[in-house]
């Protein structure tokens, strides 16, 4: 039995094998993670609500949109319109917007998440922490795949677990960044509910997605003693 959930980051998939990889992952993953970058909050420009619609044509898994954007107000309604299950916004750009956007997402029957950069403390979201459905801890600097893992970010995962237990908050805890064989053991010790898998932890392990998943599963089991296979 799986103890945690796994969410492949589709920014790092092989788009030449889009249908093949989504079809396989639909039978193995728990959800998908879609990075939306505006070229301002972070230098890169990546995926979009349109991409989510394309995934939906062949997938039934929940999708989590990670908004790495300067003005989330410009994107939230677009994601509501396509009924994206999770809409996650960076705490660093939510000052003066948090309550309105969280309410807007919830009023649409969807789930609202907040994302914390490595330098951002948990107390930055205390005013609305009881309202969010998911808290994502960035374990790398945002905007680029393949960066080094920042070990100190794991302390926030531990603290969020304790806070959830003490206060009865409903949020799930997700980690994002360099989740792979080298980091699985220390991430597992911190105890997030959701692992995001990118290039180093999944898509870059082999050209064949089934083989990549098998390698990732083997790596995770060897490093943590836990199996994540559905079979």
Tell me which of 230 and 118 has the higher pLDDT: 118
Residue 104 lies in a domain: yes
Residues forming beta bridges with residue 9, ordered by sequence position: 33
> Residues comprising the binding site?
33, 35, 66, 143-146, 176-178
Active site residue 35: yes
Residue 5 lies in a domain: no
Number of domains in the chain: 1
User: Quick one: pLDDT band at residue 96, thresholds 50, 70, 90?
Assistant: very high
Residue 23 lies in a domain: yes
pLDDT, tens only, 19-50 = 999 999 999 999 999 999 887 767 677 789 99
| pTM attached to this predicted model | 0.94
Residue 136 lies in a domain: yes
> Residues comprising the binding site for substrate?
66, 143-146, 176-178
CATH number at residue 57: 3.20.20.70
Cβ neighbours of 193 (radius 10 Å) = 18
Q: Out of 141, 176, 188, 193, which one is annotated catalytic?
A: 176
- Domain span including residue 88: 10-224
The Cα–Cα gap between 169 and 18 comes to: 37
Residue 79 lies in a domain: yes
Active site residue 208: no
Residue 91 lies in a domain: yes
Dihedral class, residue 175 (left if φ above 0, else alpha if ψ from -120 to 50, else beta): beta
Contact 195, 5 (CB under 8 A): yes
pLDDT, tens only, 187-207 = 999 999 999 999 999 999 999
Task: Evaluate if residue 145 carries a pLDDT over 50.
Answer: yes
> Residues comprising the binding site for a divalent metal cation?
33, 35, 66, 176
3-state secondary structure the chain: CCCCEEEEEHHHCCHHHHHHHHHHHCCCCCCEEEEEEECCCCCCECCCHHHHHHHHCCCCCCEEEEEECCCCHHHHHHHHHCCCCEEEEEHHHCCCCHHHHHHHHHHCCCEEEEEECCCCCHHHHHHHCCCCCEEEEECCCCCCCCCCCCHHHHHHHHHHHHHHHHHCCCCEEEEECCCCCCCHHHHHHHCCCEEEECHHHHHCCCCCHHHHHHHHHHHHHHHHCCCCCCC
Residue 209 lies in a domain: yes
Q: Out of 16, 35, 141, 159, which one is annotated catalytic?
A: 35
Dihedral, CA of residue 134, residue 138, residue 139 and residue 143, to nearest 10: 140
Residue 231 lies in a domain: no
């Amino acid at each position: 039995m799986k103890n945690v959930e796994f969410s492949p980051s589709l920014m790092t998939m092989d788009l030449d094998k889009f249908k093949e990889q989504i079809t396989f992952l639909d039978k193995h993953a728990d959800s998908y993670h879609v990075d939306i970058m505006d070229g301002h909050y972070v230098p890169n420009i990546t995926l979009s609500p349109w991409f989510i619609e394309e995934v939906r044509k062949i997938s039934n898994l929940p999708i989590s949109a990670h908004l790495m954007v300067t003005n989330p107000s410009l994107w939230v309604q677009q994601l509501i319109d396509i009924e994206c299950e999770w809409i996650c916004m960076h705490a660093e750009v939510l000052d003066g917007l948090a309550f309105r956007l969280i309410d807007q997402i919830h009023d649409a029957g969807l789930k609202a998440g907040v994302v914390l950069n490595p330098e951002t403390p948990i107390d930055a979201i205390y005013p609305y922490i009881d309202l969010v459905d998911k808290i994502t801890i960035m374990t790398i600097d945002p905007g680029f795949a393949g960066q080094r893992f920042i070990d100190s970010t794991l302390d926030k995962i531990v603290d969020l677990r304790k806070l959830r237990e003490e206060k009865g908050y409903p949020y799930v805890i997700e980690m994002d960044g360099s989740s792979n064989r080298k980091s699985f053991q220390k991430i597992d010790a911190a105890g997030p509910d959701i692992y995001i898998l990118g290039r180093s932890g999944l898509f870059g392990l082999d050209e064949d997605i089934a083989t990549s998943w098998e390698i990732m599963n083997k790596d995770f089991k060897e490093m943590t003693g836990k199996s994540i296979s559905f079979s």
